[in-house]
Structure 1
């Protein structure tokens, strides 16, 4: 059940990104989460808020005709921590990204993303 619970959080991240569901995206991240990575040559270090706002300000990828696909390529759970890798193609058109997530089971027993490290490929 634990691995399935972690997988569901990552799948909700993917679905929220695809459908521009900002409420779903807010629920998968821990309040103290951080996002770091590269969009092309630009280094970004922030909370998930700018990402969520950006996704919410654009037409949902499901409505844009973009061939967005995302696949969980790695998932490991160790006790109350987990890591997952997601490979995304068609991100707002032609973007290809690899995301590395760290998750933690919070004090209420819910899995949340605490960090996302990403890079465009």
Structure 2
């Protein structure tokens, strides 16, 4: 049951990114979540808000470049914590990314992303 719930959160992240559904994206992150990683050579450290705003301004499913695709390549649940890896291609047209997510079950029993570490490939 927990693995299905975690998978659903990650799938909602993917769908929200693909469709630029900012409400869906806000719903998958814990209020204290952090995002860290590299867009090319640039290190980014922030909460998810700038990412969500950027996705909302230009959907990943834009018509130019490769179509957006994302695949969960790893998912592991241990008690009230989980990790997942997502490989994305066609992000904003041409980008390739690998995301490493950490999730936890919050006080309400809902799974939320608490951290995302990413890099362009």
Check whether TM > 0.5.
yes
Shift of 1:115: 0.1
For structure 2, the residue ranges without an aligned partner over 5 or more in a row are none
Distance 1:41 1:80 in 2: 34
CA RMSD, aligned part only? 0.9
Correspondence for 2:88: 88
Q: CA deviation at 1:87?
A: 0.2
| Equivalent residue, structure 2, for 1:13 | 13
**What's the offset of the Cα at 1:63?**
4.7
TM-score by length of 1: 0.96
TM-score normalised over the length of structure 2? 0.96
| In 2: Cα distance, 1:34 partner to 1:7 partner | 20
User: Distance in 2 between the 1:46 and 1:62 partners?
Assistant: 24
Secondary structure of 1:64's aligned partner: coil
How big is the shift at 1:64?
2.6
Equivalent residue pairs, number: 120
Which 4+ residue blocks in structure 1 deviate beyond 6 angstroms?
Answer: none
- Give the CA deviation at 1:62: 3.0
